[in-house]
Structure formats: C-alpha cells, structure tokens
Amino acid sequence: MIVYGVSFVIQVCSIEEIAVGTKKYYAKLAELFGIGFLTLISINYFVQISTVRMQINIGQTNGLEQFIQANPISLMAAINMLGWTIFFGLSCVFAGLALGNAKIEKVIKYAFLANGIMMFLCVTAYLLDKSVVVFICMNLGMGAAILIATVSLCNLFKKIRSY
C-alpha cells in the first residue's frame, strides 16, 4: 500500500500537467491531499511491517492492541481510515474537478468523483460503526472506481504521448 500511495501521488501530479487554466488549482489541491493520504497510510503500514511484526515475533504482545490495524478501534486503524477516507477522498474529488470535458476525461472525472463520494460514505459508516458499509465502500466501491480512473488515465496519457 505504501507503493500504491506513492504511485497515486505521482498520478495526481501528472494530472496537474494536463490541467488547464483555473483547473490547475484543483490539481494542486489533489496533490496536497494526496500527500496527506500518503503520509497517513505510510505511517500505518510501516508500523505494521516493522514494530508490530517485530513485537509479535519476540512474543511481546502487551499493549499491542492499539497498534494492530486489524483492530477496528485501534489508533492505527483510525489513522489508516483518516488517510483512506478523508484525505484520499478529497484528493480524488479535486483530481476529478481538475479534468476537462473530453470523453475520456469525463470517465476519469466521474470515477474520481464517485470514489470521493464513496470515501465520504465510508468515513461516516466507520464513525457510526457500520462495518458492512465500510467493507462495501472500501473494497468494492473504491476498487471499481480507482481501477476505472487509473486505466482510463493511462489511456489518456498514452493518447497524449502519441500527439
């Protein structure tokens, strides 16, 4: 996920390169929220692959409850959800707003906007402890929206490169 976070920031930075006029402002906001997203999820995943793993390996599990991501009421789960829902959601909304009205750009725009809405639904469900809604939004909704946005964005950049 750390690699995905870095890739996403590169993706939104690339959107700024093709954004025109006042839409560059939205692209810059997408970048800034994307960096916030990357920072938050990187903290979480690095703690998981380093400290948590090492403590479990030596059998020291006392106090580990707040650092395990799988515990939905842990500090790390909250940090991860802040990154994935609010910062990733805002980054996607602004990335969508930075795009134009050509057919392929509309597909990307609506996929990013749909993901942003999905992430706002997800954070609300997380705060209301509605795990089924969180699962649907995070796994199915985000998975589909980001796949569509990413593949379409690749096609757009391939088309631009050929000019």
CB 76 within 8 A of CB 66: yes
Write down the pLDDT at residue 46.
94
CB 81 within 8 A of CB 70: no
At residue 161 the predicted structure's pLDDT band, cuts being 50, 70 and 90, is confident
- Rounded to 5°, angle at Cα 37 from 31 and 20: 15
Residues spanned by the domain of 8:
2-161
pLDDT digits (tens, 9 = 90+) for 42-76: 999 999 999 999 998 998 888 888 888 888 889 99
pLDDT digits (tens, 9 = 90+) for 94-135: 999 999 999 999 999 999 999 999 999 999 999 999 999 999
Amino acid identity of residue 110, one-letter, is Y
Write down the pLDDT at residue 72.
84
Mean pLDDT on 8-37? 95
Write down the pLDDT at residue 163.
66
Domain total of the chain: 1
Structure tokens at 110: 């609506």
Mean pLDDT on 15-38? 95
Mean pLDDT on 130-148? 94
Contacts of 114 (CB under 8 A, 6+ apart): 141, 145
